[in-house]
Amino acid sequence: MLNRMYDWIDERLDITPIWRDIADHEVPEHVNPAHHFSAFVYCFGGLTFFVTVIQILSGMFLTMYYVPDIKNAWESVYYLQNEVAFGQIVRGMHHWGASVVIVMMFLHTLRVFFQGAYKKPRELNWVVGVLIFFVMLALGLTGYLLPWDMKALFATKVTLDIVESLPFIGVPMKTLLAGDPTIVGAQTLTRFFAIHVFFLPAALLALMGVHFVLIRRQGISGPL
């Protein structure tokens, strides 16, 4: 059945050459854990991508129940946590995955740095990777407010105070993020939700696309 579907699609779109170009790609010997134990350090990038996919899928599920306003945000999270089938599991995956993806990305960045994989000709990919790191951090910060509990509220106030302390752009940046520069309220929650669900994921997917294209063109960096 699947072969017939593939043949039907391939006959119309000629996807076989594209698929072979993606799939038939030799993996360097030094990244094969079966031959080199140190090859496990090359898995951090793939693990980061795997956890990112889990974050995206679980986040899509959460948005089906979450209500981004100050009257219903906490109640919607409570309902998801206690009434929706497997809601507690999915929310737990998303909650802990937010920390795991940062750890994996940090380890991946360390591997790239200490092995000198940021040097010529991979300077641009290093810059893209650093931008992805910042986007991930921003996703964690904006998502922290969404449950709308006391811990999230006070943590967001601290974050906005740090933003406000930036020279020149601090005050307008805080106003942009919070809506009202004096309190963390309805506008803040709505803006954080929009940034977390629309703007940052779009930036993340674009940067990851560039990252993967560059990896494919330049290959996986070798050991020192």
Alpha-carbon distances of 190 from 9, 108, 172, 204, rounded to whole Å = 42, 33, 18, 20
* Maximum mean pLDDT: which of 35-44, 127-136, 155-164: 127-136
Domain boundaries, the chain: 24-32+41-218
**What number is the average pLDDT over the span 171-183?**
88
Choose between 26 and 85: higher pLDDT: 85
Q: Half-sphere exposure of 31 toward its Cβ, with a 13 Å CA cutoff?
A: 13
- pTM to 2 decimals? 0.89
Q: What is the pLDDT of residue 29?
A: 72
Alpha-carbon distances of 137 from 51, 105, 131, 194, 218, rounded to whole Å = 14, 10, 10, 16, 27
The token pair at 103 is: 């750890």
Q: Report the CATH fold assignment for 24-32+41-218.
A: Cytochrome Bc1 Complex; Chain C (1.20.810)
Percentage of residues of the chain with pLDDT beyond 90: 69
Least confident of 84-93, 191-200, 209-218: 209-218
Q: What angle do CA 96, 33, 100 make, to 5 degrees?
A: 10
pLDDT in tens, 42-96: 889 999 999 999 999 999 999 999 999 999 999 999 999 999 999 999 999 999 9
Q: What is the pLDDT of residue 2?
A: 82
Choose between 180 and 5: higher pLDDT: 5
Residues 6+ apart with CB under 8 A from 27: 220
The DSSP call for residue 203 is H
pLDDT at 197 over 60: yes
Distance CA 16, CA 111 (A): 35
- The SS3 assignment for 125 reads helix
Choose between 171 and 181: higher pLDDT: 171
Element (H, E) at 64: none
When pLDDT is cut at 50, 70 and 90, the band that residue 35 belongs to is: low
